């Protein structure tokens, strides 16, 4: 389908596609096997200015919107969700600064992220605080001109690889959700360290670690926004980032369909290619329908967010749920179409199926997204 991209948007697609075809796809199996962070590939993406897409021009970025980042992530997702996640997590890490940061903070941190000189990460999840963000135990106490952080964040993407971390901590437990605040923590801050890399089922090229704060002292001006507005910033951040996760799902689904269709054309059984059997045709047809429907929803959502950035929780969650459930379904079907070959590590669809699962989990499980959608519908129909 023709989605009537502008010249600049088509340029983003072309650049991301070229990097995916030339650098990600040829290396994705090795990155997966070795659990290797794709620093060289990310550096090439930085040289191509992809890291600057969501960052305003005055801070060295491209000044693009949600749709622009979605276009890039779809192509990266077609190559490797692990690489795409490492890229997306850096954008996720700077969204709090874009939404709530001071001018001084933006000028200090955003240019280095836009250029790819530094990576960013977002620290929210804890052992007892995932879907229920109010369960956060990490604390920040003001001591003179410094904040002192104590606690542990869990499963943080780009942990140990990023230089800039935006972290949520409780500054006043008695105020409930209004007692959370957000801070910038830098690599090398005293009392801050990262745990060892987690071993994961999928997205193995992405680094996932704990963030550990033991009397971590940071300057007072590292507070992002006002004290007590941390959860507001978190919600804005996740609403803005979820279409990007959906876009990774679209790219992954497209890659799985491509692999399955090519195989079905080549695989001969009972004297003809299996794509000639109606059972296989219907599987491929359903995959294609689901992918195009997801792409349309994600693109429409992103364009809506760029035009009307308020009250976007429902549509953001819808795009994330629909496209990532699709990715899990389509990658599973791709393995089925390819049979025993699809189950072998020699072929990429088994990795795609492993990678797809995380899309339904991180940045808010799809069950939580359905809760968000249901709550928004309840508000709408109560009027």
**Considering 161, 259, 350, 363, which one is annotated as catalytic?**
363
d(Cα 116, Cα 127) in Å, to the nearest integer?
A: 30
What sign for the dihedral angle of Cα 255, 320, 287, 303?
A: negative
CB 221 within 8 A of CB 104: yes
- CA 191, CA 262: separation in Å to the nearest integer? 53
Q: How far is CA 48 from CA 38, 104, 115, 360, in A?
A: 16, 26, 9, 30
Token pair recorded at residue 260? 């399955």
**Does the annotation mark 363 as catalytic?**
yes
Measured N-to-C along each axis, helices 103-114 and 81-100 cross at an angle, to the nearest 10 degrees, of 160
Contacts of 245 (CB under 8 A, 6+ apart): 88, 320, 323, 324, 359, 362, 363
b/e 48-84 (16+ beta carbons within 10 angstroms → b):
bbbbbbbbeeebbbbebbbbbbbbbbbbbbbbbbbbb
Catalytic positions: 363
């Amino acid at each position: 389908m023709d989605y009537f991209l502008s010249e600049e948007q088509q340029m983003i697609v072309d650049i991301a596609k070229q990097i995916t075809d030339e650098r990600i796809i040829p290396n994705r199996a090795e990155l997966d096997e070795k659990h290797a962070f794709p620093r060289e590939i990310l550096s090439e993406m930085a040289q191509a200015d992809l890291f600057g897409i969501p960052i305003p021009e005055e801070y060295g970025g491209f000044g693009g919107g949600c749709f622009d980042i979605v276009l890039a992530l779809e192509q990266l997702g077609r190559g490797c969700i692990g690489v795409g996640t490492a890229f997306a997590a850096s954008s996720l890490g700077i969204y709090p600064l874009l939404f709530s940061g001071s001018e001084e903070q933006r000028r200090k941190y955003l240019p280095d992220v836009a250029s790819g000189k530094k990576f960013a990460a977002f620290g929210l999840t804890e052992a007892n605080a995932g879907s229920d963000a109010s369960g956060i135990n990490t604390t920040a106490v003001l001591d003179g001109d410094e904040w002192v952080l104590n606690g542990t964040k869990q499963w943080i993407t780009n942990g140990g690889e990023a230089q800039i971390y935006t972290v949520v901590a409780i500054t006043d437990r008695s105020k409930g959700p209004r007692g959370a605040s957000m801070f910038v923590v830098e690599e090398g801050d005293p009392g801050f360290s990262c745990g060892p890399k987690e071993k994961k089922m999928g997205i193995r090229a992405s680094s996932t670690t704990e963030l550990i704060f033991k009397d971590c002292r940071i300057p007072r001006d590292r507070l992002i926004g006002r004290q007590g507005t941390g959860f507001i910033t978190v919600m804005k951040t996740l609403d803005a980032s979820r279409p990007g996760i959906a876009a990774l799902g679209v790219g992954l689904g497209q890659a799985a369909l491509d692999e399955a269709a090519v195989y079905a054309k080549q695989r001969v059984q009972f004297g003809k290619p299996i794509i000639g059997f109606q059972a296989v045709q219907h599987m491929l047809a359903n995959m294609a329908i689901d992918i195009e429907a997801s792409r349309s929803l994600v693109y429409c959502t992103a364009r809506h967010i760029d035009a009307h950035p308020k009250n976007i929780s429902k549509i953001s969650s819808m795009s994330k749920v629909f496209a990532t459930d699709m990715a899990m379904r389509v990658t599973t079907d791709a393995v089925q179409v390819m049979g025993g070959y699809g189950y072998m590590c020699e072929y990429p669809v088994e990795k795609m199926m492993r990678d797809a699962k995380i899309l339904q989990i991180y940045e808010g499980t799809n069950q939580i997204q359905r809760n968000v959608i249901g709550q928004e519908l309840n508000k709408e129909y109560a009027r």
